[in-house]
Structure 1
Amino acid sequence: MTGQGAGSKGASRKSAAGGDAEWWRGAVIYQIYPRSFYDASGDGLGDLAGITEKLNHIASLGVDAIWVSPFYKSPMRDFGYDVADYRAVDPLFGTLDDFQQLLGRAHGLGLKVLIDLVLSHTSDEHPWFLESRQSRDNPRAEWYVWADPKPDGTVPNNWLSIFGGSAWAWEPRRRQYYLHNFLTCQPDLNLHSMAVQDQLLSEAAFWLDLGVDGFRLDAVNFCSHDRQLRDNPPLKPGERPTDGVQLDNPYAYQRHLYDKTQPETIDFLKRLRALTDRYEARTTMGEVSGDDSLRIAADYTSGGDRLNMAYTFNLLTSDFSAAHLRDVVAEMESVAGDGWPCWAFSNHDVIRAPSRWAQNADGSAEQAEDNDFARLLMALLLSLRGSVCLYQGEELGLVEAEVPFERLQDPYGKAFWPEFKGRDGCRTPMPWNGSADHAGFSTAEPWLPVDPRHLERAVDRQDHVPGSLLNAYRAFLRWRRRQPALRWGTLRFLETEDPLLAFYRRCPEQQVFAAFNLGGKPASLALAEPGGITPLDGHGFTASWENGRLTLPRYGAFFARADFAKQPDFAQQAENADTKQEETGKGIEGG
């Protein structure tokens, strides 16, 4: 066996399970992309009233919270991630009153509400930037990252934008360049300025005062840059980027040592955490990318005074194998300390997991639409140690939509077509009714087309079908809620070979053994110490367990109670961990 999970991994199980202040530990968070969730106004774009109208669907899944992607006032050149006013709702999505109704309805259904907070940059139409760009001596002159040109007029250094080209844009009024890690219209804020930090904390407090339960922090490790503006070094021969950036993008040719992930970011995160801790039961979840993103996520969530949790792109890449999944999770376990991870297989920035991983599992083009494969991904994601983000439509088994070039909206896709088609394929409208125009998303032509393959997976086609993927999600989430080991327990892997993945989860009330077959053919696993393994019911999976040999069907999963007194290796680990808990007053059982 490989050992993960030993040692102090966060708060005690009592605080994780019993205290509402830590509701986020082991929580399942449903991500909503507002433009594509439901259109209540009939203009072809989803809106806040539409989210409110469909909250019953989300509550029926049994998740703990929703995360709503940006709905702030914005020119929408990056669909809300270019904020022009942090305190205003863009009229496309409704009004502030619409948001407050959404918040009240969600809380009435027992759902926490997280909103996106974009701290690293704004829109170039934000009043702060409009003032900053006017001169070098105005009150907000230093609120953004400005730099003089080199003597020959060229850009200050070799930093690149994720969306292609230099990360610097010229401003003739100041005769300086400004930094933009994303689109040219998304200038980077200068968080080395305490005035900027104070203002951003004030923006966050506005929403906390309204009653939001926390924030998902976009591109959080982009919040500070190297003051000396040193060049990033190139990747060494054979090195591959870990940012989830495609190799045809020049951004993938550098090690991003200086344009992001600077030590000063942690100081700001401490200030943000101090703010959220002044409110009851609030949480923060950071999006982290980088050349060592798992360690960055661990640093950003350790110590109890930074972020509550963070997720990376390590499981949002095209790599799909038991070995890769085990390596990523094992590395996170080894560096996490008392930090807390959050895992996701899909979101609004990447190809949907069934399509992304089908190409790599057994080479079958049909695999992406295989419900057994989607059910396997569900069970695996919801069994890892940490919190979980589900992306809208994941519960329906939606595959990546085909969007023709003439319908593309994403500037990222337009820039890198045809090698990279952008992010529109995972952002198409949620299918509510398989027989209605536009899949019941809107009465008008949607901003992105509905993929015909999504019609048969619409909510109404699965809602009352006992064997549907949607109902498998509902059943599994209900079952998981009754398994404390899967929500807060430690994790320890067994040594297995592809396509098998197996691990133990442990907390004082329960010990669980879980195994997964990531392949398209049946596979078997023999336990050296089979004693104390008793199959669990109610999770929706079937497997053969006899005389210490487990046989899993294609894309199968198995869950059992485990008596670790009869598993010597794990029993010794548990004894050591419990001794450490008594000595330190902190338990591994909370994570």
Structure 2
Amino acid sequence: MNHPFPQAPNNGWWRGGVIYQIYPRSFQDSNGDGIGDLPGITQRLDHIAALGADGIWISPFFKSPMKDFGYDVSDYCDVDPMFGTLDDFKALVARAHTLGLKVMIDQVLSHCADEHPWFVESRASRDNPKADWFVWADPKDDGNPPNNWLSIFGGSAWQWDTRRCQYYLHNFLTSQPDLNFHNGEVQDALLATVKFWLDLGVDGYRLDTANFYFHDAQLRNNPGRGAPDPNNPDPAVNPFNPYGWQRHVHDKSQPENLVFLQRLRALLDQYPDTTMVGEIGDDDGLARVAEYTASGPNGERRLHMAYCFDLLGEAHDAPFLHGFLSRFGEIVGDGWPCWALSNHDVVRSATRWGGPTPDPRLLRLAATFQASLRGTVCLYQGEELGLPEAQLAFEDLQDPYGITMWPQFKGRDGCRTPMPWSGDAAHAGFSSGPKTWLPVPPEHRALAVDRQQGLAESLLSHFTQLLHWRRAQPALRNGRMALLPVHPQVLAFERDDGTQRLLCAFNFSDAPAELTLPAGWAQAAPLAGGVATGARVTDAAVLFDAWGCVFLEKA
């Protein structure tokens, strides 16, 4: 394929790398207002570098009315004063690069805030220059919205506007109108904002709702599906949300989306060593990941990597993981995944997988398993500490999703509470102010960074040893992956890059287990490094304690 612009070199740092997600409101407050900020992030970058991460992803810090905490952008090219200034961001990038960390930022392209000047102009009349920059539609003859599309946050995806006497589309809050990607001027304007941050030195993007950019231009109704699967890990699909009762074939994941992603990729390819990871929320997430990471018919490039929600649910036994990874290999093939066990939208993995009092051995096993998969590792802040989901009172909630659906669904605040740095300090060292935007749970203090540093048995020490050890294992960073047959307790697979061949096995149960070694692995030696625990190797089998794991290396 002939590219319209010269392609910059890409060293592929992201392939097999480790990305640490920062939720800026909750990472570190530097000025005592109870809200985290960019200088606070800069202050704590040494922690991330010491942990062994290769880069950071910062959730939105752009100018915003904060009705959805930064995922409603009112200026794509400026920092919200709550988080600091552009100079603060430049200082953060400079410090991160000095520490060897790449910087990725969260780009919210599908929608913006209703306070954005683009929308203010668009809603003013039906004939202004930006009248078609958002998705406007006339009502039906009876005054109802033009179709049956639903908002992820509940209710219709259409909001009546008295200025134009039309409905506008919002897949999220009514204050988050969807941009009209069928308009080429909208695409150009958004690409210009992406370029703005690339020119400031960012190394890549996490693309929020990457399959939501385009809608069906004919505004056809979505078909119904009946009650949704209660085990679906997508936070938008829960038994208390009508959104999951539809098959979302017309309101997202349209074929035109791929063409825009190719334009976006062509822009990033002009900058050296950059990358994009897309968030995929779809009825068939694996198919979308395959489609969005594949090349186009003429070799056009799309996303470098993508993730869906399959590992962000409660299921985690060996047969489930084997089935999911098998389907992933069959459907996605060579597409590059980004694996996360937690993020800012779901219950923390310590609680989802471990319950109210998670076994520390399970948390070590989960970390080791995640670091062993073919793909890129994404760690959410506090995961290295084993933080459980915070249980908050209704009066402490900030998330509009949780406030609307309380008490059956409590929203996302429980995974967004402040990072505990010091167990004895006010607000656990997060802030010196009188009050924080969300409270610090008392149970998080015992897991604070200073309580775990230097303790050989702490989860923080395990993560640090694991990530540094992983860097020296080429098979884990870049090797192929082949699953062993399904086992009722043990998930096992081989990793092989041509220079190193490993067998990785994990007992995902709270009972002892035995795995017969496959042909050719008898008498293989355990791999040095000490990250595998609770397993003994005989000539023909591996004997596991509860939550034990092992790495064998073939000479």
State whether TM-score is above 0.5: yes
| 2:199 pairs with 1:199 | no
Distance between the aligned counterparts of 1:549 and 1:318, measured in 2? 29
Q: Give TM-score, length-normalised by structure 1.
A: 0.89
Contact residue 48 and residue 93 of structure 1 kept, 8 A = yes
Deviations 1:175-194 (A, max 9, x none): 11000000000000001110
Deviates further, 529-538 or 346-355: 529-538
Deviations 1:382-405 (A, max 9, x none): 111111110000000100011110
Distance between the aligned counterparts of 1:246 and 1:238, measured in 2? 7
Q: Structure 1 residues 237 and 246, CA, compared in 2 at 3 Å: closer, same or farther?
A: closer
Q: Which amino acid aligns with 1:533?
A: A
1:463 counterpart (450, 453, 463): 453
Q: State how 1:359-378 maps to structure 2 within 5 Å.
A: 359=355, 365-366=356-357, 368=358, 370-378=359-367
User: Which residue is equivalent to 1:121?
Assistant: 111
Distance between the aligned counterparts of 1:465 and 1:55, measured in 2? 21
User: Which residue is equivalent to 2:509?
Assistant: 519
2:529 counterpart (534, 538, 541): 538
Deviates further, 350-359 or 182-191: 350-359
Contact residue 532 and residue 561 of structure 1 kept, 8 A = no
Distance between the aligned counterparts of 2:470 and 2:530, measured in 1? 8
1:320 counterpart (309, 316, 320): 316
1:185 counterpart (146, 170, 175): 175
User: Which residue is equivalent to 1:279?
Assistant: 271
Unaligned runs of 5+ in 2: 1-8
Distance between the aligned counterparts of 1:150 and 1:83, measured in 2? 30
Distance between the aligned counterparts of 2:183 and 2:554, measured in 1? 53
2:260 counterpart (268, 290, 296): 268
1:96 counterpart (83, 86, 90): 86
Shift of 1:409: 0.2
Shift of 1:557: 1.0
Q: State how 1:101-180 maps to structure 2 within 5 Å.
A: 101-180=91-170
1:56 counterpart (37, 46, 70): 46
Q: Structure 1 residues 133 and 552, CA, compared in 2 at 3 Å: closer, same or farther?
A: same
SS at match of 2:149: coil
Q: State how 1:193-232 maps to structure 2 within 5 Å.
A: 193-232=183-222
1:489 counterpart (474, 479, 488): 479
Deviates further, 322-331 or 443-452: 322-331
Shift of 1:317: 1.5
User: Which residue is equivalent to 1:298?
Assistant: 290
Contact residue 276 and residue 304 of structure 2 kept, 8 A = yes
User: Which residue is equivalent to 1:330?
Assistant: 326
Unaligned runs of 5+ in 1: 1-18, 360-364, 564-591
Q: Which amino acid aligns with 1:137?
A: D
Contact residue 233 and residue 312 of structure 2 kept, 8 A = no
Contact residue 305 and residue 338 of structure 2 kept, 8 A = yes
Shift of 1:238: 7.7
Q: Structure 1 residues 394 and 454, CA, compared in 2 at 3 Å: closer, same or farther?
A: same
SS at match of 2:211: helix
Q: Which amino acid aligns with 1:383?
A: S
Deviates further, 114-123 or 550-559: 550-559
Shift of 1:562: 2.7
Distance between the aligned counterparts of 2:547 and 2:410, measured in 1? 29
User: Which residue is equivalent to 1:354?
Assistant: 350
Shift of 1:318: 2.1
Q: Which amino acid aligns with 1:380?
A: F
- Comparing both chains, which one has the higher relative contact order based on Cα–Cα distances under 8 Å and sequence gaps of 6 or more? 1
User: Which residue is equivalent to 1:41?
Assistant: 31
Q: Which amino acid aligns with 2:210?
A: V
User: Which residue is equivalent to 1:472?
Assistant: 462
Shift of 1:528: 4.0
1:388 counterpart (369, 377, 399): 377
Q: Give TM-score, length-normalised by structure 2.
A: 0.95
User: Which residue is equivalent to 1:588?
Assistant: none
User: Which residue is equivalent to 1:440?
Assistant: 429
Contact residue 243 and residue 291 of structure 1 kept, 8 A = no
Q: Structure 1 residues 138 and 443, CA, compared in 2 at 3 Å: closer, same or farther?
A: same
Q: Which amino acid aligns with 2:89?
A: F
Shift of 1:264: 0.4
Distance between the aligned counterparts of 2:227 and 2:464, measured in 1? 47
Contact residue 31 and residue 67 of structure 1 kept, 8 A = yes
Q: Which amino acid aligns with 2:255?
A: P
User: Which residue is equivalent to 1:553?
Assistant: 545
Distance between the aligned counterparts of 2:58 and 2:11, measured in 1? 21
Distance between the aligned counterparts of 2:205 and 2:247, measured in 1? 28
Q: Which amino acid aligns with 2:544?
A: L
SS at match of 1:377: helix
SS at match of 2:224: coil
Q: Which amino acid aligns with 1:282?
A: T
Deviations 1:518-552 (A, max 9, x none): 11122111124233622112142231100211011
Q: Which amino acid aligns with 1:297?
A: V
Distance between the aligned counterparts of 2:330 and 2:209, measured in 1? 24
Contact residue 191 and residue 224 of structure 1 kept, 8 A = yes
Q: Which amino acid aligns with 2:406?
A: W
SS at match of 1:221: coil
Distance between the aligned counterparts of 1:339 and 1:137, measured in 2? 44
2:409 counterpart (402, 413, 420): 420
Distance between the aligned counterparts of 1:219 and 1:407, measured in 2? 27
Shift of 1:498: 2.6
Contact residue 502 and residue 554 of structure 2 kept, 8 A = yes
Contact residue 522 and residue 539 of structure 2 kept, 8 A = no
How many residues of Structure 1 are paired with residues of Structure 2 in the alignment?
538
Percentage identity across paired residues of the two chains: 57
SS at match of 1:295: helix
Q: Which amino acid aligns with 1:428?
A: T
Higher helix share: 1
User: Which residue is equivalent to 2:55?
Assistant: 65
SS at match of 1:22: coil
Contact residue 228 and residue 245 of structure 2 kept, 8 A = no
Spell out structure 1 runs of 4+ moving beyond 3 A: 236-244
SS at match of 1:220: coil
